[in-house]
Amino acid sequence: MVLSSSATMVLAVNILKGGGAFPSPLGIRCGSFMFWGASVFILVWVTGTSLWVRDMLVAQWRLKTKCGYRYVEGDVQWSPSATIKYPSLCFFAGFCAGLFGVGGGIVKGPLMLEMGVHPKVASATSACMILFTSFTATTSFMVFGLLRRDYAQLMFVVGLLATFVGQVGVNYLVQRYQRSSLIIVSIGAVVALSALLMGGQSLYFLAFPRQDDESGGFCAAGE
């Protein structure tokens, strides 16, 4: 519920403030004070929601500690230090996702495995997170006119097929060999492949720079 409401709020603000390719219903001009104020509001909203959730998790942890609650393997103890450490790492994951154009799950998956979370839970949580972050990011690109619709349609189909094949295939292998470590191997393979592809693309553009790249701010896109 909290995750859905936060994603809905981000989507609503993105639409209301508009962008280079989508006029604001409120008449907000892209790059104006109100435009950047709406962007700051999103940051404040997400930060406030995170602090509220942290308070609830810490309260639950203290109650469980007082009652002598016994944690099972894979449970996360949301102590005051853990509720600062792990969200900070997740912030880094989101930063990398936006900076390099990769899914935050590439960082979140290994992070949760390091926390001792069960591989199946880590995989499912990463997929759930990517659903919301990818959706809100896509709407932002659409508003600014930076989304290639032909690419988006193709990659949407590819994503659905790849998810289905990966889910069915990995579940079959895990059940057959009774080894959840196969999920860890798949996550590690995706991280390694992404690093190689990003590195290769960067080297290619450094060696063969494009001369037809458009310049200008994102407010000019789509106009």
- What ranges in 101-148 are assigned the alpha helix state H? 105-114, 119-143
C-alpha–C-alpha distance, residues 123 and 188, integer Å? 12
The residue behind tokens 């390694």 is 192
Burial 140-173 (b: 16+ CB within 10 A, else e): bbbbbbebeeeeeeeeeeeeeeeeeeeeeebeee
The pair of three-digit structure tokens given for residue 35, joined into one six-digit string: 């435009």
Mean model confidence pLDDT for the chain: 81
Largest CA distance in the chain: 66
Judge whether residue 193 has pLDDT over 70. yes
Tell whether pTM > 0.75.
Answer: no
pLDDT score, position 168: 83
Contacts for 135 with CB less than 8 Å, ≥ 6 apart: 7, 11
C-alpha–C-alpha distance, residues 58 and 178, integer Å? 35
Judge whether residue 59 has pLDDT over 90. yes
C-alpha–C-alpha distance, residues 91 and 133, integer Å? 12
Q: What is the pLDDT of residues 71-113, one digit of tens each?
A: 887 788 888 998 998 888 778 777 776 776 666 666 777 777 7
Give residue limits of the domains in the chain: 2-147+178-208
Most confident of 30-39, 46-55, 111-120, 167-176: 46-55
Q: How far is CA 216 from CA 4, 60, 138, 212, in A?
A: 34, 49, 21, 13
